[in-house]
Amino acid sequence: MKHPTAFVAAASAWALGGWLVADAAFAADNGFWARYDSGAISGLGARNIGSATMSGRVSAVSAVREKNGKVTIYVGAASGGVWKSTDNGTTFKPVFDRQPVQSIGAIAIDPNHHDTVWVGTGESWMRNSVSVGNGVYKTTDGGETWQYMGLPDSEHVAKIAIDPRDGNTVYACVPGKLWSDSPDRGLYKTSDGGRSWSLVLKGGNLSTGCSGLSLDPKNPNVLFAAMWDFRRKGWTFRSGGESPTAKSDSGLFRSADGGRTWTEITPAANSGFPEKPYGRIAVTIAPSNPEIVYAFVESPHSALFRSDDGGRTWSRRDNSQNMVWRPFYFANLIVDPVDPDRLFKPDLTLIASTDGGRTFSQVGGGAHGDFHDVWIDPADPRYVIAGDDGGLWYSHDGGNKWWKANNLPISQFYHVSVDDDDPYHVYGGLQDNSDWVGDSEYPGGITNSRWENMFGGDGFWVFADPSDKNYLYAESQGGFLGRINRHTHQIQLIQPQAGYREKLRYNWNTPIALSPHDPNALYIGAQFLFKSDDHGRTWQRISPDLTTNNPEQQKQEESGGVTVDNSYAEMHDTIYSISESPKQAGLIWVGTDDGNLQLTRDGGRHWSNVVGNIPGLPRGEWVSWVQASPFDAGTAYVAFDRHSYGDMRPYIYKTTDYGRSWSALVTPGNDKGLRGFVHVIKPDIVDPNLLFAGTEFGLWISPDDGGHWARYKGGDFPEVPVRDLVVQPRTSDLVVATHGRGIWIIDDITPLRHLTPAVLDTDVAFLPTRPVVQRIEAFGGWPEGDASFTGPNPPDGAVITYYQKSRHLFGKLNLEIYDGNGRLIDTLPGNVRRGIARVTWNMHMPPPRVPPAAAVAGNSTQGPRVVPGVYTVKLVSGDKSCEQKLDVGLDPRDPFTLADRKAQFDAAMKVSDLFGRMTDLAYRIVAVRDGAQARAAQVKDDPALQKQLNALSGNADAIRKQIVATKEGGAITGEEREREYLDDVYGAINGYEGAPTDYQLARVDAIAREMGDTADAFEKLRNGDLARVNAALKAKGLQEIAVPDKAPADDGGAPGGGGMRGRDRDAGFERE
């Protein structure tokens, strides 16, 4: 049974006031942390504030036109899951969020059963920041549920092809692991719907997998598969061999028997095909004429090739810059389903040919650029959908002009920071999408337009300048650092420059850091650490080369393999993480990408490399994050990221003695549930035991300094890469930067700071929250349609938080709110979920009792907002209860005083009282009207009395019509009576929480006088006509017409209003 049993414990704990200081160590020793899990913490919801304005990299697009003419679209995000639209892109929903990986490489829709969709995880556009997958998934119900179909060690999937004759025959083109040798790569085939796979084409070495695949739709036994020899290391990359002319196992292969046997396409056997070595190859068969085959071949003479005889012979076609640009990142060809001479090559910009590949035009138009995939509608080839580094795009003119999808919040943040504004702003930089500042809340919601671009390039670290609110710091790849005026957007570039015959090595994701001790100070790391005390006007080099300075890892000019590619992405032997201790100025930790962990305690005069003190850690591991403790100068946390060696597992360590010794918090041997390589490790800024870790597969939280961890799943937070996070000090919000799903805010983590073993073992207990303030209630924004993303605001009200050990299932669970006088003012349904549970109280009094009329009086549906002060919240279930105080304050932004606020409340309550009196009066009048009408029907034998009664009823109703508007019909009647006038002035007073104006109060008095006149008229009727009628009724022995004093309380106990519920519910209509 799940009946709550231990409310008493929490209640008595409250009475003692000591339940939060229970003996945690004792509890921990007794295993009480066993209750600490995802369910316990995920009731702290998260809100995704996007943005979809910059969106993020789309790696795969697949769509199909349905019988009803609609186009179903599936979008594969590079690291943000699968999104589906069934309304031509007006709305999308993420359909892959419950799967353990979110990087998408390929999507294939079964041509015969559109609800069957295959997804290959692990993007194949093998940039330095590419995420990883874990195999192939299938849905047979349009994405509602997914089955894992295996290939667990594939890591990346480039293409999936489904045999149109048999949906159980599927090919998966697997490039395989990027960072390490692996036999699990090549072309896989299943003939049983994915239950079993066979490797039908494998590479000649452990670094060659499948990068391109095309299946002849008319003879599906014919396939072309491109094999790719590739490898990435932290400091270099090769597409093909180690150099443009070095041996490579890349090649193009053809099968005519469903993959059983393969023939390599070679220049010797297939005239016109280029000479080896090759890098990445893209291949596609023209659907409308399978004899026509296109292949882009990366080689020392990269170009597009075309065969008109099914691959036997080839001719060289376009080799323009956009055809051959960065083949590892752009290797895809999409041929018009109808016209075999029309094809697209996604590239830096999108290029298109209409002459069979002889010439190409740039057609990217106003889209972002860095295209990866294209879908062409077979029914209307002018309709084109494309995905690039900036999201998803639609063209209705054949791919010339583009319409941006503004509803895909798949943005790939690298870092995040916040300022101390109210509301605070969120800053962050993104993959190929610059550096932005956005709102954490805004009236009407955080629309795309509430984000503003501040820089350019790929974006990384962004900080508000703590010394001058007019400026911020932002950077693009390679430490390209600027100080930017946020109003004029004027940029001053302030990157430290190299000295004589010197090269500064700035990482792709170069760290910059603010000093917690000096608002004018700024750090940036190349191989040296630089510090500026004057916003970047001057720099001091405060370290020697802190890296291993290994010349073998500094040959980036040779990087790229067949095609040189030296973009800072492989810059190595660099500083990657910087953290100055908040407890001690000049104590600075620096981590490098080549495995050094350096510490200075004197502002850079002396440095020591302490990485060797970490037991069991191999040398050379990438320091992904080092974080000085905000609580103790000798304490720091460090995370190592070994994924560039093919090791995707987590490593987190802690020191408390300035790096002399280290304890392992998370290691592969004891991962404590963490999954994926670690990007960020940070302690809370209040509770030293509360740790946050972001990995490639999500967010984990530890309540006990790394002893136990739980994955955070609140707000349906997916298993998406978490690159950075920050706690906003004033709000205690945890702001999380995901690389694939934008920014998420967990509002107020205060409850986590109090989730002790003792609390976890309590059946029900309140948890402390941040101070409750009455945020300004305001309107903003404007309808943007359904095709635009809007991030939600924090809850509008007092967020009450409690913990319950198990889900509440039986019996009432309510929250009662009492004012300072112990008066019950509101009752709310409880939140039944297990673990931390939240309920929002809107902090409003009950709405006024309002007499029924033709339509609802809109303003009066809301009660006045309570006055700031101390309230009591009581959690009640049956005869069990516990309570806590709720101290409610004004919004610091309010331009008025508490006295003003009280004046407003009193005025609103006065109007509310007037409404109540009006309701009672209307009720009395209706009693007379209806009573007279009813009796008139009883005295047909007495025409005079009947006439009297009818007149009385009519006169009563005439008075009522002075009180309320009565013209029905649903039109804008413009009819206003006392009720409507009062509603107007109530809205004016209630809508602004400062003191009401004199003229508003005068208006209330005027309406009150008018109401008095109306009441007098009724009293006159009552003492005159009614008295006479009652006397006549009495004389006839009939029941007199009684006049009730007040309208009765509504049945149902809820504010139905007016005391007329039941009398007037759909009155006036007879039934069939």
| Residues 995, 461: Cα–Cα separation, whole Å | 44
Identify which of residues 895 and 1068 has a Cβ nearer to other proteins in the complex.
Answer: 1068
Contact between 822 and other proteins by CB under 8 A: the answer reads no
Interface stretch with other proteins, choices 234-242, 753-761, 850-858, 1037-1045 (CB under 8 A): 850-858
Contact between 958 and other proteins by CB under 8 A: the answer reads no
Contact between 39 and other proteins by CB under 8 A: the answer reads yes
Strand partners, 725: 736
Q: Are 300 and 562 in contact, with CB atoms under 8 Å apart? A: yes
Contact between 81 and other proteins by CB under 8 A: the answer reads no
Contact between 606 and other proteins by CB under 8 A: the answer reads no
Strand partners, 139: 117
Contact between 725 and other proteins by CB under 8 A: the answer reads no
Name the nearest CA neighbour of 788 among 390, 408, 395: 408
How far is C-alpha 844 from the geometric centre of its chain's CA atoms? 30
Instruction: Judge residue 1010's burial from the number of C-beta atoms within 10 Å of its C-beta, 0-12 exposed, 13-18 middle, 19 or more buried.
Output: middle
Identify which of residues 1020 and 1063 has a Cβ nearer to other proteins in the complex.
Answer: 1063
Least distance CB 157 / other proteins (angstroms): 25
Interface stretch with other proteins, choices 155-163, 265-273, 492-500, 789-797 (CB under 8 A): 789-797
Identify which of residues 232 and 979 has a Cβ nearer to other proteins in the complex.
Answer: 979
Q: Can you point out the beta strands (E) in 684-786?
A: 691-695, 698-702, 710-711, 722-728, 733-738, 743-746, 764-766, 772-774
Q: Are 324 and 298 in contact, with CB atoms under 8 Å apart? A: yes
Binding mask 968-997 for other proteins (x = CB under 8 A): xxxx-x------------------------
Q: From the list 716, 887, 1005, 1013, which residue makes contact with other proteins (rule: CB under 8 A)?
A: 716
Contact between 1 and other proteins by CB under 8 A: the answer reads yes
Question: 97-126: which residues touch other proteins (CB under 8 A)?
Answer: 98
Identify which of residues 183 and 1056 has a Cβ nearer to other proteins in the complex.
Answer: 1056
Binding mask 1013-1052 for other proteins (x = CB under 8 A): -------------------------------------xxx
Least distance CB 744 / other proteins (angstroms): 14
Contact between 933 and other proteins by CB under 8 A: the answer reads no
What is the four-CA torsion angle of 1014, 1017, 1018, 1021, rounded to 10 degrees? -170
Q: From the list 212, 340, 830, 931, which residue makes contact with other proteins (rule: CB under 8 A)?
A: 830
Q: From the list 2, 218, 893, 1036, which residue makes contact with other proteins (rule: CB under 8 A)?
A: 2
Contact between 808 and other proteins by CB under 8 A: the answer reads yes
Write 546-550 long-range contacts (CB < 8 A, 24+): 546/575, 546/590, 546/592, 546/596, 546/598, 546/607, 546/609, 547/505, 547/573, 547/574, 547/575, 547/592, 547/593, 547/594, 547/596, 548/573, 548/592, 548/594, 548/595, 548/596, 548/620, 549/573, 550/594
Name the nearest CA neighbour of 127 among 173, 59, 225: 59
Q: Are 429 and 414 in contact, with CB atoms under 8 Å apart? A: yes
827: which 2 tokens? 């009752």
Q: From the list 8, 22, 64, 86, which residue makes contact with other proteins (rule: CB under 8 A)?
A: 86
Q: From the list 9, 13, 20, 40, which residue makes contact with other proteins (rule: CB under 8 A)?
A: 40
| Residues 1005, 993: Cα–Cα separation, whole Å | 20
Least distance CB 854 / other proteins (angstroms): 5
- Residues with Cβ within 8 Å of residue 934, at least 6 apart in sequence: none
Name the nearest CA neighbour of 88 among 119, 63, 108: 63
Least distance CB 833 / other proteins (angstroms): 4
Contact between 874 and other proteins by CB under 8 A: the answer reads no
Which amino acid would we find at residue 981? Answer: Y
Question: 454-483: which residues touch other proteins (CB under 8 A)?
Answer: none
Contact between 666 and other proteins by CB under 8 A: the answer reads no
Question: 350-409: which residues touch other proteins (CB under 8 A)?
Answer: none
Q: From the list 5, 93, 257, 443, which residue makes contact with other proteins (rule: CB under 8 A)?
A: 93
Contact between 809 and other proteins by CB under 8 A: the answer reads yes
3-state secondary structure of 338: coil
Interface stretch with other proteins, choices 428-436, 488-496, 986-994, 1060-1068 (CB under 8 A): 1060-1068
Least distance CB 856 / other proteins (angstroms): 4
Contact between 825 and other proteins by CB under 8 A: the answer reads no
Q: From the list 29, 144, 380, 421, which residue makes contact with other proteins (rule: CB under 8 A)?
A: 144
Q: From the list 5, 145, 266, 492, which residue makes contact with other proteins (rule: CB under 8 A)?
A: 145
| Residues 581, 658: Cα–Cα separation, whole Å | 11
Applying CB under 8 A, the site for other proteins has a residue count of 82
Interface stretch with other proteins, choices 208-216, 292-300, 827-835, 943-951 (CB under 8 A): 827-835
| Residues 129, 287: Cα–Cα separation, whole Å | 34
**For residue 590, what are the CA distances in angstroms to 528, 610, 637, 659?**
10, 10, 12, 12
Contact between 557 and other proteins by CB under 8 A: the answer reads no
Least distance CB 1052 / other proteins (angstroms): 4
Least distance CB 398 / other proteins (angstroms): 28
Contact between 1053 and other proteins by CB under 8 A: the answer reads yes
**What one-character-per-residue DSSP string does 507-576 give?**
-TT--EEE-SS-TT-EEEESSSEEEESSTTSS-EE-SS--S---GGG--GGGTEETS---SSTT--S-EE
Binding mask 674-713 for other proteins (x = CB under 8 A): ---------------------------------------x
Identify which of residues 776 and 1038 has a Cβ nearer to other proteins in the complex.
Answer: 776
Q: Which helix (H) or strand (E) holds 791?
A: strand 790-791
| Residues 948, 108: Cα–Cα separation, whole Å | 82
Q: Nearest 5 degrees, angle CA 857-CA 861-CA 862?
A: 135
Question: 902-931: which residues touch other proteins (CB under 8 A)?
Answer: 926
